[in-house]
Amino acid sequence: MTNDTSSGYRDAEPDVEHPTDSGHTLQLSDVGGLEGAHPSVVAARDRFSDAIVDHEVVSGDEHILHVRRDASLEVIRWLKEDPEHTYNYLSDVTAVDYGEGRPLQVVYQLFSIPFRRFLRVKVELPLESLEIESVVPLWQAANWLEREVYDMFGITFLNHPDLRRILMPDNYAEGHPLRKDFPLRGRFTRAEQTRRALARQPEDDYIPAEFDGTRRPQVVAWKETGGEAVPREVMQPMAPSPDQDS
């Protein structure tokens, strides 16, 4: 076990300068010198100078890249696939609504397992155009995460394979509950909410395949690190134990 407690950013050059959209020249010394010189931030700015809107450091050593929407998928794909960075673990996709008519932010929390580095990527979306490319082609784990953001914030993920609500019912008509303009008690009166709840049918909460018995458990292909992919045809739902209660 190693006793190295450094941040992993010491290999970056401390005197690199990068202009920001505001005209201010960001020096790595502005964000903590060598400890602030996140190698992926430096490399991303060099490769995507027009796509990187800003870079900030919060809570001492948490680096955030602000990326233009039209370049978000390209930048995130590079962060994942470039062997010098390899952000192969997507730990979260979420969103932030600051209210008062300000743009919403889509937030990607990335981690590089080989290099033990965290990086947060943020993309701003104007209220009149809440859509962004899906990252499901890069990480299957983004599927339900993006559905939750769609459900709670109303952000559309283009080219998502199954974009629909995941927490609220499909026919939920009160909007998106995590938006700042969403009323604390919802948009309908309590009487209307009660009337709608009492009028619900089983079909409102289940998909057709769950009624006719044709639904099969979802099986996801996986492989051990360094191993071969498991053929989909050999993956079957686990049979119940003989002594399991029926």
Residue 118 resides in a domain: yes
Six token digits for residue 153: 């914030």
Residue 241 resides in a domain: no
* Tens-place pLDDT, residues 78-93: 999 999 999 999 999 9
Residue 195 resides in a domain: no
Residue 201 resides in a domain: no
Residue 178 resides in a domain: no
pLDDT at 60: 82
More confident residue, 142 or 11: 142
Residue 96 has pLDDT above 80, yes or no: yes
Residue 13 has pLDDT above 50, yes or no: no
- Name the region of 8 (left: φ>0; alpha: ψ -120 to 50; beta: rest): left
- Concatenating the DSSP letter of every residue in 22-47 gives TS-EEEGGGGTHHHH--HHHHHHHHH
* Tens-place pLDDT, residues 228-246: 555 555 545 545 555 545 4
Which stretch of 14-28, 115-129, 138-152, 182-196 has the lowest confidence by average pLDDT? 14-28
Q: How confident is the model at residue 11 (pLDDT cuts 50, 70, 90)?
A: very low
Decide the pairing of beta strands 117-125 and 62-67. parallel
pTM: 0.72
Six token digits for residue 143: 């599927």
pLDDT at 93: 98
**Residue of 103, 89, 105, 206 lying closest to 149 (CA atoms):** 105
Residue 174 resides in a domain: no
Domain region containing 121: 17-168
* Tens-place pLDDT, residues 192-212: 889 888 888 877 777 677 777
pLDDT at 141: 94
Helices and strands: H and E segment counts in the chain: 6, 9
Residue 139 has pLDDT above 80, yes or no: yes
Distance in angstroms (rounded) separating the CA atoms of residues 77 and 125? 19
CB-based contact 176:182 (threshold 8 Å): yes
Total domain count, the chain = 1
- Averaged confidence pLDDT in the chain: 80
Residue 111 has pLDDT above 50, yes or no: yes
More confident residue, 177 or 245: 177
Q: Which CATH number covers residue 114?
A: 3.30.460.80
Distance in angstroms (rounded) separating the CA atoms of residues 66 and 62? 13
